[in-house]
Structure 1
Amino acid sequence: MRTALSFKGLLLTGAGLAILAASPSAYAQNANAAQDEAASDGLQVITVTAQRRSENLQSTPVAVTAFTGDSLKTMQVSSVLDMAQHVPNVSFTSALASSSSVAAFIRGAGQANAGFAFTDSAVGFYVDDVYHARLSGTNLLFNDIDRIEVLRGPQGTLYGRNNLTGAVKVVRKQADGTTFGSAEGSYGSRDYNDQKATFSTAIAPDKLAVIVSGFHQYKGDYYDAPAIGGKRGKDEQYGARVGLAWIGDGPFSAKANVSYTHEKGDGAAQINFTEGLKETGGAFGTYISPIPSSSFNEQINADLTLGYDFDNGLKLKAITGYIRGDDRFRFDVYGGQVNATTGAYTAGFDRRSDMINHQFSQELQLSGDVGGNIQFILGGYYFHETIRQVFNDNVLGYQVLPDTIHQVTNSYAGFGQATWRFAPRFSLTLGGRYTRETKDIDATLSNGLFLPSQTLTAVGGHLSFTNFSPKGEIDFQATRDIFIYASISRGFQSGGFNASVVANPTLFNTPYGAETVTAYEAGMKSEFFDHHLRVNADWFVNRFGEIQTNTYVGTSVVTQNAGTALVHGPELEVTAEPVHGLTLFGNGSLTLDKYLKLNANTAAARANADALPRVSKWQYNIGFNARHSLGGEGMGMLHASSSLAYRSSYNVDPGLVAISQMPAQTLLNAAVGWTSDNGKLDVTLSADNLTNNRFYVTGSNYGVNRKSRLQNEPRLVKIAVSYKL
């Protein structure tokens, strides 16, 4: 198997290098650009589109952390989970059910139940402006990335449904008529290998351009599995994309992309616990389930963006997106039990999920400015999704009748926002979004008993939600390099059905309500010492109404409206270039949280909880990037980087059960390498989790003798060789 995997990766890398080697003119052209860039001094200007228009990060009145594709590579950030270490007040972890899913939290709210299809996230994920409703498959590997923006605070006015506390925008490289490309191959410990390649050129000069990219990654086993022999933990991902862009002169623009991604592995390796005792498997890190867990995710994504620039300055844009997802996972809820006579492991409760979703979205935008002092955007949005999820359970070796669930969601919205520069240094922004959403569900549920006692029950329901979320903001350009802003906004996340509670039809038909947040934020973005020091800071206050939390009832995850809550605190991001070739960076957050009122009969109320799930009081990340020329012609440059991330303890369950208490976490990453004079050839040796620090990141409480935790990955050392035009 490993031979086949390596051959696939080598084939991809070789094809990419062959394409690049065939383009000498582009090589020379971009080499000169790299030399010009190296000669520049001061921190780089970062352009973002957080307000649906291109603007300097330092004059954008939103808390945004932005990464370019080059900066991601420098920091050895290769996935969504890696990126979270570099953003204050953000928590991204693998979901317990599926390693391809992300449990995403920003500023106190999110969604932990990512492996199940019928719960929406409070954090919006976007790829090329197309919203991804399911968090399954969102643990993206970064390949052909232009930039990534992490927006903190409600983004519902401009970005739509379920952006309660923030959004992640992934912007991929697009064909523009120039010739560019890159290829990279990485190999490391635990049989790790990773290959990626991108190439773009014009196929009809001044008319049509194309971009193609592909990637493959394999991670080997790292968990002992004595129950089934050997080790587990392997994961393989691969994918490809083809994009076309119309580059002709005139007011019309168009770009289209089709991509395919595939992930298959051993799933999230859960460690079985009995409360108050050590793992029944023995040593820390032992994965004891005798039935192999597994995860599978396959996605086909297509998007089309059309634009037209009118003579009067108005711009019309249409964004169409389609996603087909196939997500499957399997794990043993009990984690296996030991037979007292034979010493063999016996399966307890083996759960398998198969989910198919189809998503279509359409957005129209009209933007422009009036008199040079007013910038505006108006738009409409439509979202349609169908989901079918089937649970197949095996209890003590006996097959239970499957539970089949089908849900249809329709969402309609109209939005607008305008910014008025009413004085030379002052601007006022007002906006709002009206949303109407419906959810219809039907299911056949098994009673969970063995044949011939099994029965099926038909259940179903209809939910409807409406919401208006306004926003107001004022900002002041105090000096050329100091920008101050304050805002108030509302966020909204729709409610839904407890569709994972398949063993309890009554609870299944008990919906949870919509969640809202009123967010206050004041911030400053500043640069000093001729753009060699950048300091961005903000203080936010989130007041949540009917906050949605996840807890376990038996073997099922239940979403409850816990009550009202307050989350607030400061955030800080600092970047400095004290001398040419050395960049220092750091970010951090202090987060204070509490419930203001608890709803009766919820897990939080029963525990008299005084803290929200997955909120850490302290988070910080510090590090550096350094480059040093070796002097002589053709000698190239040495580079080194390192970062240290810390997160204080937190609990993942609103009931604050002991098994769900996660300890403080520290991660140290480091890299050293060599780059050619023209910046095109690079060799880097890196280590993720350099000190091999092991800790738990999430846990679950299924009931008596049914408790588990998920551990972080061990140290990974790898060497990467890359080449770009």
Structure 2
Amino acid sequence: MKQPKFQKSMIAAAVATLLGSPAALAQQNEEAEVDEGKLERIEVTARRTNESLQEVPVSVSAFGEQELEQSGIEDITELQFKMPNTTFQVSRGTNSTLTAYIRGVGQQDPLWGFEPGVGIYIDDVYVARPQGAVLEVLDVQRVEVLRGPQGTLYGKNTIGGAMKYVTRELTGYNEFEVKGTVGSYNQRDLKVSGQTALADNFYVGGAFATLNRDGFGEFVNTGDENYNKELMTGRLNAKWLVNKDINVKFAADWTKDDSNSRGGHREQESVLSDEPRLTDVYDSYTAMPTWNEVETEGYSMTVDWAINNDWMFKSVTAYREGYTDTNIDFDSTVNPVLLVPAIYEDDQTTQEFQFMYRDDRMDFVGGVYFYEGEACGVFGTVLGMLGLTIDNGGCVDTSSQAAFGQATYHVDDQWSFTLGGRYTRDEKEADVYRYTYAGVKFLDRNDYAADPIAVNSDFTTKADWSKFSPHASVSYQANPDLMFYASYSNGFKSGGVDMRADVSINPSARDPYDPETVDTYEIGVKSEFMDGRLRANLSTFYSDYQDMQVTVQTAVPTGVSSQVLNAADSTVKGVELESTFAATDSLNFTGSIGYINAEFDEVAVFNPTTQQVEDVSNRWSFANTPELTANLGFNQEFNLGNGALVWSGAVAYRDETQIFEEPSPLDEDSYSLVNTSLVWYSNASNWTVGLHAKNVFDEEYRLSGYNFGSTFGENIVTGYYGDPRTVSLSVGYRF
């Protein structure tokens, strides 16, 4: 019987004590051939070509299909507990909108038209919007997370890093897999996937999942479920081997999320309602309908052509679109104090051409990239107690072109030098409107006066920017098991227009804001010891951010005043250590630790009350960026007569976290989560049974929220929380 092989990482402090020198987390590649007891070679595509994780001068974590299965990972947000200096979370009152931060940089506000700081990729296709980006684990081969600016090879908006969701490769073999899961809160999941060959040179495959769960709580005054899950997702693939040198891949994916919109937990007593503050953080009140709809779909075609022994060509053509229709009750009371119905729509068309060259001394990848996208939306700010409604909407069209190249020259078997750069040109045109109406009005209603009582904004503006992002690195392979590297990377997040602009309060809000930029310097070491049983990778980095885009929302009597300014400079520095230790042939330890020191040097913002520009850097701290993150895990394999049993467990620690840049009652204290799993594999490896317990000690921890104080006559401080303790049982069959 071929037993599954496992690996994870030992806590950094232990490794540092053992080694004195360091190195990085690696996950398994199930297809790798390894010597008994040694760690497996991990293949990643961090530099747009297949390389060993230990040879890439980049801070990258990789999670293979088997690792995800053994841990019971259901979506990508759970990976934040396995990596240093990383935050992947569900955004506030949503179910499938992603809040992603790496090394202090991300996107706090998921408004349409705003750009993320962490790039999300499905295979080689960039996903521009966070709506629907909480990707479920389905038909996945590997997830890679790259930390630090990736502007040269991945482009704009990867200023903090990038995440690559790599789907299974079609092989032409007949495969079929079905997995059913039941669990806490009436969890009922079904996943089906498979592939086959329709001809010797044409393969097809697909996957489908329906994921359902009752709510962790309820909307007390309506009886509707809160924090429930009702989602379907699917994927279809085809691969055509045109000849021995050319193959064409087709892919289509779609997701439909009909889970209820989430209700927040009131952190303070209401001053307008008699209802008491609820003790269960998953229960809520609402004055809105709780229905919610999120749909995304994407299509792509990839052409790979081996021109000759040295040159490769790749073309990636893709289209994606998304639609969101949701309701968010900011105050979470039975009164219509601050209600926000919202509709988002977006689409994007991308084309990338890549050329790759490789010989004994030189590796090169370069090409051109084109992006055309439109993001539109409208949301209402319903101030029912004041008898006012503000509608805010518009569209932003983006056209982007880039040319890039990166080459690595191997001087000898030890020294390598890399130089690269990317030139990007962005053009944006946006129209923004903001109207104030008397009375209560929802987006799908017409029971109000047709004419607004005030036009707060109604303008069109456009701007363009160009940026060159260089990269340079040097690596030294001291011996086959020890590599040192140093790198410099520049990245940027694209400029834009504040889609909430209220020029009646702040006339300059109509002006486009510029890109923000970063210069990052990194030194690292990647190493293996003890005859390949211990892998430890360490990196230390220093980042200098300029013209950071600061989104400031200030509650005023007539609504919320918003502004986005290039108003901040900051310094971010830190250390990351990831490690894996094969203690025996059947027992592995894994772990990581991350420390980050992020400080604002200057933050100049406009105060709509005083009409003055103020430096608030002494009050601000980085959001969603705990100073210390760590995890420690293990897995133990037991050989049984009828198969193999794998017992795994992990504890993850996150330090105190500030939810917004300004301190608020929502800020979360440090906490630790414990997960454990038992997975049984049959001798023939066709049956699997998994028992997974997450948040074993039922830790209560806040992820996000809204903080508007008492501006509207009500204490609006509402929080959204991570999942409580859950237990699930999965049974899978494959052939």
TM-score (norm 2): 0.88
Shift of 1:333: 2.2
Which residue pairs with 1:551 in the alignment? 552
* SS of corresponding position for 2:69: helix
Maintained 8 Å contact 2:388/2:436: no
Counterpart among 657, 665, 676 of residue 659 in structure 1: 665
SS at match of 1:599: strand
Once the two structures are TM-superposed, the CA of residue 284 in structure 1 deviates from its matched residue by 4.0
> Is 1:93 the counterpart of 2:89 in the alignment?
yes
What's the secondary structure of 1:346's corresponding residue?
Answer: coil
Unaligned 5+ segments in structure 2 are 1-28, 440-448, 608-612
1:711 corresponds in structure 2 to 721
SS of 2:74 mapped into structure 1: coil
Structure 1 residues 507 and 325: CA distance shift in structure 2, 3 A? farther
Does residue 76 in structure 1 map to residue 77 in structure 2? no
1:668 corresponds to 2:674: yes
Once the two structures are superposed, the pairs formed by residues 336-485 of structure 1 within 5 Å of their partners are 336=333, 345-370=334-359, 372-396=360-384, 400=389, 402-450=391-439, 451=449, 454-456=453-455, 457-485=457-485
Q: Which runs of 5+ in 1 are unaligned?
A: 1-32, 337-344
Maintained 8 Å contact 2:59/2:147: yes
Q: Decide whether aligned partners of structure 1 residues 531 and 556 sit closer, same or farther in structure 2, where only a CA change above 3 A counts.
A: farther
Native 8 Å contact 1:174 1:211 kept in 2: no
Q: Per the alignment, in what secondary structure is the counterpart of residue 85 of structure 1?
A: helix
Which of 604, 609, 624 is equivalent to 1:614?
624
**Rounded Cα–Cα distance in structure 1 between residues aligned with 2:502 and 2:205:** 45
Aligned residue in 1 for 2:639: 629
Secondary structure class of the residue paired with 1:423: coil
User: 2:31 and 2:44 mapped to 1: Cα distance?
Assistant: 25
Determine which of 610, 635, 653 is the counterpart of 1:646: 653
- Determine the structure 1 residue equivalent to 2:319: 322
CA gap of 1:430–1:229, structure 2 versus 1, over 3 A, is same
* Distance change in 2, residues 1:698/1:401 (3 Å): closer
The Cα of 1:453 is off from its aligned counterpart by 5.4
More helix by share: 1
Cα distance in 2 for residues equivalent to 1:319 and 1:688? 38
Q: 1:240 to 1:525 in 2, by over 3 A?
A: same
SS at match of 2:411: strand
Distance 1:628 1:597 in 2: 56
Calculate the aligned-residue CA RMSD, in Å: 2.4
1:654-708 Cα distance to aligned partner (Å, 9 max, x none): 222x223122121111112322112221111111111111111112222422222
The letter of the residue matching 1:536 is N
Q: Does 1:126 align with 2:126?
A: no
Q: Give the equivalent residue in structure 2 for 1:696.
A: 702
Tell me which residue corresponds to 1:228.
222
Q: Deviation string for 1:273-296 (max 9, x for gaps)?
A: 349999952314131223244432
How far apart, CA to CA, are the structure 2 residues paired with 1:404 and 1:578? 58
1:559–1:646 distance in 2 versus 1, CA, 3 Å: farther
Contact 1:393/1:400, CA 8 A, preserved across alignment: yes
In the TM superposition, what is the alpha-carbon distance from 1:131 to its structure 2 partner? 0.1
Partner of residue 588, structure 1: 593
CA distance in 2, matches of 1:629, 1:484: 39
Distance 1:120 1:600, change over 3 A: closer
CA 592–604 in structure 1, closer or farther in 2 if over 3 Å, else same: farther
* Number of aligned residues: 678
- Give the 3-state SS of the residue equivalent to 1:73 in structure 2: helix
What secondary structure sits across from 1:305 in the alignment? strand
Q: Conserved in 1, the CA contact under 8 Å of 2:648 and 2:677? A: yes
SS in 1 for 2:112: coil
Per-residue displacement from partner, 1:538-568 (whole Å, max 9, x unpaired)?
1011111122233322246543434111111
Taking only the aligned residue pairs, the percentage that are identical comes to 27
Name the counterpart of 2:328.
331
Task: Determine helix, strand or coil for the equivalent of 1:254.
Answer: strand
Counterparts of 1:99 and 1:323, CA distance in 2: 20
| Greater mean alpha carbon deviation, residues 676-685 or residues 534-543 | 676-685
Q: Return the TM-score normalized by structure 1.
A: 0.89
Deviation at 1:248, TM superposition (A): 4.7
Which residue of 2 is the match for residue 113 of structure 1? 109
Which of 591-600 and 712-721 deviates more?
591-600
Q: Deviation of residue 348 (structure 1)?
A: 1.6
* Residue in structure 2 matched with residue 218 of structure 1 by the alignment: 212
Partner of 2:147 in structure 1? Answer: 152
Work out the CA distance in 2 between the residues paired with 1:374 and 1:37.
27
2:177 matched residue in structure 1: 182
Residue 9 of structure 1 corresponds to none
1:501–1:556 CA contact under 8 A, matched in 2? yes
Of 227, 247, 250, 1:256 maps to 250
Question: d(CA) in 1 for partners of 2:35 and 2:307?
Answer: 39
Q: List 4+ stretches of structure 1 deviating above 6 A.
A: 33-39, 275-279
Which shows bigger deviation, 255-264 or 280-289?
280-289
Deviations 1:621-662 (A, max 9, x none): 1111111012x3xx2222211111110012122222x22312
- Choose between structure 1 and 2 for higher RCO, CA contacts under 8 A separated by at least 6 residues: 2
8 Å Cα contact 2:278/2:284 also seen in 1:
no
1:199 correspondence with 2:199: no
1:365 shift after superposition: 0.6
Q: Separation in 1 of the partners of 2:232 and 2:36? A: 37
User: Residues 221 and 234 of structure 1 are in contact (CA less than 8 Å); yes or no, is this contact kept in structure 2?
Assistant: yes
Q: Does structure 1 retain, via aligned residues, the 8 Å contact 2:603–2:616?
A: no
Moved more, 43-52 or 326-335: 326-335
Q: What residue in structure 2 maps to residue 598 of structure 1?
A: 603
CA drift at 1:607: 6.3
Residue aligned with 1:287, SS: coil
Cα contact 2:71–2:692 (8 A) shared by 1:
no
Residue type of the partner of 2:654?
R
Tell me what 2:286 maps to: 289
| Mapped contact 2:604–2:616 kept (Cα < 8 A) | no
- After superposition, give the CA deviation of every residue in 1:151-208 in whole Å (9 maximum; x if it has no partner): 0011010011211010000110121222223221100110111111210111111x10
Q: Distance in 2 between matches of 1:387 and 1:433?
A: 25
Deviations 1:329-353 (A, max 9, x none): 21112222xxxxxxxx322222111
Kindly indicate whether the alpha-carbon contact (under 8 Å) linking 1:296 and 1:328 is maintained by their aligned counterparts in 2: yes
In structure 1, distance between residues paired with 2:63 and 2:31: 22
Report which stretch shifted further, 712-721 or 506-515: 506-515
Equivalents in 1 of 2:683, 2:31: separation in Å? 8
Q: 1:55 aligns with which of 51, 58, 72?
A: 51
Instruction: Tell me the equivalent position of 2:10.
Output: none
Over residues 411-454 of structure 1, what are the superposed CA-to-partner deviations in whole Å (9 max), with x where a residue is unaligned? 11110110011122100000000111011011332124444653
Task: Identify which range, 507-516 or 396-405, moves more after superposition.
Answer: 396-405
Counterpart of 1:8 in structure 2 is none
Mapped contact 1:425–1:476 kept (Cα < 8 A): yes
In 1: Cα distance, 2:382 partner to 2:194 partner:
47
Larger deviation: 278-287 or 139-148?
278-287
